[in-house]
Amino acid sequence: MALAKITSVTGRAVPVVGNDIDTDRIIPARFMKCVTFDGLGEFLFNDVRKDPKTGATTDHPLNQPRYQGATILLSGANFGCGSSREHAPQAIQKYGFKAIIAESYAEIFFGNSTTLGMPCVTAAREDIAKIAAAVDQNPQTEVTIDLVKLEVRFAGQTVKITQRESARDALINGRWDAIGELLDGVPAVKTTAAKLPYLATA
C-alpha cells in the first residue's frame, strides 16, 4: 500500500510549554511494558497530568476541556530529549496528535516521529508564542502547517517554519516509512527473482 503524501496538517492546537521536555515526561518508563504501542496515548504526560500524591487531575493543558480534540502540539526547545524510546512519539500519535511545532527537537525523537508520518517542524520562539496566544484566546482556532510553503497559517496570520529537507522530502513525497517502502517493493522483487536463472544447490 502506497504511503500517504503529507503536504499539510490542519487542526486545532494545544500549547505544552517548556524546554527540554524529555521522553520520560512524555511517556513514563513504567508504561512501556507493552507488546504493541496501542493504548500508550492514554498515558501521555501522565506524571504531570496527575498529582503524584493524590492521583487527582491537574490543570495540564491536555486535561483542559477547551483543548480536547487538538491535533497539533506546540512546545519549546529540545523537545523529546532524554532516552531514545520510540514509545514517546508513538504515545503522542496514539493520543491523536498529527504534528508538532517546537523550537527544536532531540535528534532521535525527530527521526522516530518522521517515520510515523508525524511532521515535526521548527519555528521561532516568538512565532510559537503568537500561535499559542491565538489558540489561548480561541481554542477553536484552525492551524495549518504547510510543508510545501514552509509556513503555518492561523487566525489570519502566517509565520515561517523550517524542517530538515530530507524529512520534508520524505513526507511530501510519501517516502517516510522505510519498512513500508520495502513492503511495497515485494511484488517487484518477486517479479525480478522469477526471471533469474535457477541455480541448483548440491
**Mean pLDDT value across the chain:** 90
Say yes or no to pLDDT of 83 above 80.
yes
What residue has cell string 490542519?
Answer: 10
The whole-angstrom separation of Cα 170 and Cα 191 is: 26
The whole-angstrom separation of Cα 138 and Cα 58 is: 21
Over residues 114-127, mean pLDDT: 97
Residues 91, 26 contacting (CB under 8 angstroms): yes
Residues 129, 74 contacting (CB under 8 angstroms): no
Q: Is 160 left (phi over 0), alpha (psi -120 to 50) or beta?
A: beta
Residues 149, 9 contacting (CB under 8 angstroms): no
| Least confident segment among 44-53, 121-130, 178-187 | 178-187
Mean pLDDT: which of 26-40, 72-86, 178-192 is highest? 72-86
Per-residue model confidence (pLDDT) at position 190: 79
The CATH class, in words, for 8-174 is alpha beta
Is the full-model pTM beyond 0.95? no
Per-residue model confidence (pLDDT) at position 37: 76
